[in-house]
Amino acid sequence: MDRISLAIIGAGTSGLLACKYALENGLNPVVFEAEEVVGGLWNHTIESTKLQNAKEAYLFADFPWPSSVKETFPSHNQVLEYVQSYAQHFGLFPYIKFNSKVISLDYFGHSHEEMEAWDLWGGTGKPFESKGKWQIMVQNTKTFSTEVHQVEFVILCVGRFSGVPTIPEFPPNQGPEVFNGKVMHSMDYSAMDNDKAAELIRRKRVTIVGSQKSAVDIAAECADANGVEYPCTMICRTAHWSLPSHNLWGVNFGLLYFTRFSELLVHKSGETFLLSILATLLSPLRWVISKFAESYLRWKLPLKKYGMVPKSSFLLDVSSCTVAILPENFYDKVEQGSIILKRSETIGFCREGLILNGQSQPLETDVVILATGYRGDQKLKCMFSSPVFQKHIIGSQSSMLPLYRQIIHSRIPQLAVIGYAEGFSNLMNSEIRCQWLTHFLSGKFELPSIREMEKDVRMWEDNLKLYSGKYIGRSCIGSVNIWYNDQLCKDMGRKYKRKKGIFAEFFQPYGPMDYVGLAHY
Ligand SMILES: Cc1cc2nc3c(=O)[nH]c(=O)nc-3n(C[C@H](O)[C@H](O)[C@H](O)COP(=O)(O)OP(=O)(O)OC[C@H]3O[C@@H](n4cnc5c(N)ncnc54)[C@H](O)[C@@H]3O)c2cc1C
Ligand SMILES: NC(=O)c1ccc[n+]([C@@H]2O[C@H](COP(=O)([O-])OP(=O)(O)OC[C@H]3O[C@@H](n4cnc5c(N)ncnc54)[C@H](OP(=O)(O)O)[C@@H]3O)[C@@H](O)[C@H]2O)c1
């Protein structure tokens, strides 16, 4: 049995960052990747997928986009090439074991009773000083043979938006099995090669369930393929605000929601009395900015005509990461009739198609694509053999994933998670987290006690609930991303106000370049 000091599971953007920063901090990682490529989900997108952020926001802080990429929103192929060249540039390939799927994680060396009595995380508060170890079972995805490794520390970078899809619950006898056509999840549609996907939808009546980013992208793709002759229907359960571009009445979205000033308008976890008073006093401005965005979107898009005006505020959608960027000319396709929008709280299947709320006739269709999102929490849960850790990692149904700094579970020793909580740019968030984590792993700061970590997690959750309501389960830090980054900088003993000059500090959007060199001085 191999002894490994640090195992990273997954070689998507999060795993690559973890590997790069581990190496920089003198650690010796082994990365287990189930596939034979790096880049994770960027290998399995639909043909039309582009970056949702401008490329300046989705950037490895010390690795610029190549000058050949002129587009503001690069295509999925360009993103994938960029990620691959990052791995190449920093010499990460030798550390990655491809076709190696981790199928179970077992902790041994301490009983659960012993662990429950700990005051400090892992008993010592330190990552590498415990007699406890992880035993990880790895399956070769080609030969199906298995190996077991003993590991001191595990970083889970398995990705939140893949692997375990959300499948709706259907009324009795109205499941997909009664339907004569084809049903699949957007994950499986995205994994198909382009020709097969095109063949599947060509001259078919396609219905898409869901109305977030995967749904609108697939709907636009179907509309482009089939036009008005075979319109595509999109079933929306909850209308959310979505953006045709990053500008609202000519003002960049980042200026409104990703500056230090914009975060003064919202309450933040652990804020001082003064900041709390300020957020209360400025709450009318918070409301005005949200209405400013909504007024633009109501003016720009025919939301009312199609019953797509959200009940939620724009702020709620930003705070719960449910604002999607619309594909080009989405509402033109709706106006032309190549996309039909329908609202329904529930769906059920019958032989000919779907049964929607309040409709006496079924919606006849040939193909149903469930763009209903992912159960990233279940995916993490499945990694653990121990039911106790399974319960710990998930928290409750109505809570965020209970991770300290969105990285460490106070009751799961010698293990961290990267890439779960969403924010303004997921690449930037993973990069800062990896810097924080590898700083901690190399002994540059210590964690507080388990009680303090748990208190902090509760405080964050209570705060995030204020603005994201029932979407708290998405663990979105969208409206307090800078405040969150500040906490990580402070833990690392770094300056957290990172811009030059007071005006820039408060009114310029923060981005990955503001955190360049965070780990180095
Ligand atoms: C279609 C799509 C587009 C997106 N676009 C954007 C965007 O524009 N901007 C943005 O900020 N965010 C975007 N996101 C969010 C996205 O999740 C992140 O940007 C990011 O790339 C995710 O990287 P990751 O490494 O955390 O996960 P993934 O890319 O999912 O990588 C996880 C890796 O872990 C491997 N793995 C999983 N389980 C195991 C196992 N048991 N053993 C071994 N290996 C395993 C997988 O094979 C995979 O390679 C998008 C998400 C999706 C689904
Ligand atoms: N860069 C890109 O181009 C791109 C492309 C695709 C995805 N992404 C990213 O990938 C992530 C996942 O996106 P996603 O669109 O796949 O998932 P998602 O954001 O979780 O959206 C899921 C959708 O399915 C609906 N839904 C869930 N359960 C349902 C049910 N039981 N019945 C009916 N509807 C149901 C949801 O409605 P409710 O709101 O009512 O819950 C929502 O509309 C996001 O971060 C997204 O930004 C990015």
Per residue in 135-158, pLDDT (tens digit) is 999 999 999 999 999 999 999 999
pLDDT band for position 410 (cuts 50, 70, 90): very high
User: Tens digits of per-residue pLDDT, 350-379?
Assistant: 999 999 998 889 999 999 999 999 999 999
Q: Is the CB of 329 under 6 A from ligand 2?
A: no
pLDDT band for position 517 (cuts 50, 70, 90): confident
pLDDT band for position 396 (cuts 50, 70, 90): confident
Residue of the CA atom closest to atom 19 of ligand 2: 212
Please report which ligand is nearest the Cα atom of 418.
1
Please name which of 98, 130, 57 lies closest in space to residue 325, comparing C-alpha atoms. 57
DSSP H helical ranges for 6-101: 13-24, 76-89
The predicted model gives 74-85 an average pLDDT of: 98
The predicted model gives 227-234 an average pLDDT of: 96
Please report which ligand is nearest the Cα atom of 221.
2
pTM > 0.85: yes or no? yes
Q: Which residue has the higher pLDDT, 125 or 184?
A: 184
Task: Express as a percent the part of the chain with pLDDT over 90.
Answer: 93
The predicted model gives 104-108 an average pLDDT of: 96
The residue to mutate among 212, 234, 397, 471, having the most atoms of ligand 2 within 8 angstroms of its beta carbon, is 212
Residue 344 confidence (pLDDT) above 60: yes
Crossing angle between the packed helical segments 13-24 and 426-441, to the nearest 10 degrees: 30
| Structural domains of the chain ordered from first start | 2-162+375-476 (3.50.50.60), 176-244+301-370 (3.50.50.60)
Would you say how long the chain is, in residues? 521
Please report which ligand is nearest the Cα atom of 423.
1
Q: What is the per-residue pLDDT for 393?
A: 94
User: Tens digits of per-residue pLDDT, 448-459?
Assistant: 999 999 999 999
User: Tens digits of per-residue pLDDT, 266-319?
Assistant: 999 999 999 999 999 999 999 999 999 999 999 999 999 999 999 999 999 999
Distance CA 293, CA 98 (A): 45
Would you put residue 203 in left (φ > 0), alpha (ψ -120 to 50) or beta?
Answer: left
pLDDT band for position 6 (cuts 50, 70, 90): very high
Ligand 2 center to 353 CA (angstroms): 22
- Residue 55 tokens, joined: 């490329």
Residue 1 confidence (pLDDT) above 80: no
Q: What angle do CA 401, 402, 406 make, to 5 degrees?
A: 80
What atom of ligand 1 comes closest to residue 13's alpha carbon?
Answer: 25
Q: What is the per-residue pLDDT for 38?
A: 98
The predicted model gives 331-352 an average pLDDT of: 97
